[in-house]
Every structure is written in structure tokens, then in C-alpha cells.
Amino acid sequence: ALLHRANLRMLQQRVPESETDLDTCIRLYPNNLLARLRLATVCMAKEDLDGAKKMLEKAEEYDPDSSEVHCYRGELHFAKGDFSEAKSEFEKAMECDTSNPTPYVNAALAVVNTPSAMGAMPDFAEAIRLLEKAIEVDPMFHAAYVQLGQMKLSMATDLSRAKEVVELYDKGLEYCRTPEELRDICSMRILTVAQIDAAHALHMETLNMQ
């Protein structure tokens, strides 16, 4: 009941009250992994990264093979700008649970945010591979379609590549679980089609306006 109420209060933006409920829940049930993860999220939202780190370390003690714990640890490193460490944690999360799509998406974001030597481009091919793997693992994972579509569109070298993004969104539309997800992908699809149509009208071979 405490955990449920804490989640509800988080949704209502009543963070201090949610934190109190989570503290009480952990005091009563020290091995409640979900409560510790939720409290780590609260700490991160408050930019208390040290508090989040301590909570996640304790959570890992109770369940060192938890994919979720490694995901949260990766997100903590990501928030600190430690993208290599973040990717390492996301990879551990994949090893713990190959059916969890979240670490694949998070690892892809870590890849594209990792600074490259001498101004080189990030490893977009690796990021795309990870995002495609996320969809393979869970075809209903909305975030993977969003990130993959945006990335592929930004890299489209010709209109045929851009049309592949429309096909990706069409696939994503088949798996939308909420009206919000449906609106999100519909909006991106409409914008992509409009860009392609405009390029055709201007007799362009790419979406690059330069």
C-alpha cells in the first residue's frame, strides 16, 4: 500500500510525501527492491546524485543480477555525463535480462553522446543496431521507434532512406499501447512524409536543404 501510494504521489508531483512513503516502506521491508529503485529516482529528480548512488548500491546488494538495478545505475552515470560507464551498466542490464528493451535504448543514447576523438562522429551504426535490437526484443517499445526514427532520418542520404523511416513508423503504429504513443508516432510520421513530399516537389534527391 505504501509503494502504491508513493507512486500515486509521484504522479501528482507530491515528491516530499512520496519520499516519506518510500522511506517508511524501506524501513519496514528493507529488501523491497522496487521501493529502493523508486527512491533512487526521487533522489535523481532532486539532483541528489550521491543519495541515488547509495540507494542503488544497497539495491544491488539485495539483487546483484537485477536488470533494473543496472539500468538505474546506468542512468545515474548518464546524468553525471559519464557515458562510457553508463553504457557499461546498460550492457550488464542486457546480460541480466535479454528481454528488457530499456537498456538497449539507453545504451544507444550513451553511444551517441559519448565524445569522439578529434571531432569524429559518434558511432551511429552501433546506436542503430542497439535500437533495432530493442524493437526485436519488444516490438511494442515506443521509445525505440522514436529514437530510431529520428536517428535514421537525420542520417538519410537519399529519399529512399527517408521512406524507410515512414515504414518504421507504420510498424510502430501497429503496436501503440496508449493514445499518447499513437499521437506521438503519427505526428512524426506526418512530418517525415511532409519533408519527403517537399523534397520531391523541389526535385531534390535528399532532405538536405543546403
Q: What is the mean pLDDT of residues 123-131?
A: 95
Q: Is residue 116's pLDDT more than 80?
A: no
Which amino acid is present at 83? F
State residue 204's pLDDT score.
87
Rounded Cα–Cα distance for residues 182 and 184 (Å): 5
Q: What is the mean pLDDT of residues 29-43?
A: 88
Q: What are phi and psi of 61, to 5 degrees?
A: -60, -40
State residue 30's pLDDT score.
85
Query: Do the beta carbons of residue 42 and residue 11 sit within 8 Å?
Result: no
Q: What is the mean pLDDT of residues 44-64?
A: 89
Range with lowest mean pLDDT among 110-114, 155-159, 167-171: 155-159
State residue 117's pLDDT score.
73
Rounded Cα–Cα distance for residues 134 and 178 (Å): 19
Range with lowest mean pLDDT among 8-17, 56-65, 139-148: 8-17
Q: Is residue 143's pLDDT more than 90?
A: yes
Q: Is residue 172's pLDDT more than 90?
A: yes
State residue 161's pLDDT score.
92
Q: Is residue 209's pLDDT more than 70?
A: no
Three-state secondary structure readout of 112-176: HHCCCHHHCCCCHHHHHHHHHHHHHHCCCCHHHHHHHHHHHHHHCCCHHHHHHHHHHHHHHHHCC
State residue 125's pLDDT score.
93
Burial class (CB in 10 A: 0-12, 13-18, 19+), 210: exposed
Q: Is residue 210's pLDDT more than 70?
A: no
Q: Is the model more confident about 13 or about 114?
A: 114
